[in-house]
Amino acid sequence: MAKAIMAAPRDAYGKTLVELGKENRDIVVLDADLSKSTRTIFFAREFPERFFDCGIAEQNMIGIASGLAASGKTAFTSSFAVFTPGRCFDQIRISAALPHLNIKVVATHGGISVGEDGASHQAIEDFALACAIPGMRVIVPTDAVETAQVIREAANIGGPFYIRLPRSSVPLIHSDSYHFELGKSAPLREGKDITIIAAGVMVSAALQAAAELEKDGVDCRVLSMPTLKPIDEGAIIKAARETGAIVTAEEHSKFGGLGSIVSQAVTKNSPVPMSMIAINDIFAESGKPAQLLQKYGLTAVDIKREVISTISRK
């Protein structure tokens, strides 16, 4: 098997912001003293007059962005996922979402793969927080290719977005011919025995698990679900009816994320055996990203084990 090509989604984010800035003078970017980490520094260097470093003050950042958006600008705001929406939930809810302003909250360093920074910097609740806000579109790109397209899509569609990116480089899943569509899943592998629905960094683990299960005679369908809200309910129902079992995989708490959203569609429309690969009701510790993913059950091995268990309940 060829070695996977790795790329950082946050790099794609920063570069795409620069492209958008050249195309549209109404694009503005705000950061909370983390521009080197979030990669908004690319935009700051190119367009210093349209970049605003708000300091370690995410609440104020959203307030300033709201004013800019109310004045006709398209405002991209960035910090770590644990800080936005975590630190500024009320401001996002009231100042950005309630008036349906053109604010794009792009958070990097999502999940426990942040690594050594530990629980204080590991966002495992952000999907739940963002999805609960009325009118908020919530997207978790799979790789750098999809990230670039998601950022462009968000810039072209009015209203608030929450977009979560990882800290690390991840395998490239999509080719340049791929086309992201808001609210649609991406079928990556056909299968008839069970469907794995994965988001973000867990997509590559899902594909690895499916490839290993094929050797054991298990035919897995794999769906990448970059848009958590609005969810691709049609693809979920189709998968449930055609494969008869579903396993979800996400780098997030098992409460309020991908698994919860998928289960709502499944139980309402086509109840089938279902399991979730997610973080249990626990804060993670400090460690290397790979070690943490293994310790907290977010690997291809864990997905494979859960697939076999779920199929046994069909």
Catalytic site residues? Answer: 58
Burial tier of 116 (Cβ tally within 10 Å: 0-12, 13-18, 19+): exposed
Q: Are 223 and 197 in contact (CB under 8 A)?
A: yes
d(C-alpha 2, C-alpha 283), whole Å: 35
d(C-alpha 234, C-alpha 269), whole Å: 10
Question: Beta strands of 17-63 (E only): which ranges?
Answer: 27-31, 51-53
d(C-alpha 9, C-alpha 84), whole Å: 18
CA 217 to chain centre: 31
Neighbours of 130 (CB within 10 A): 29
DSSP reduced 3-state for 276: strand
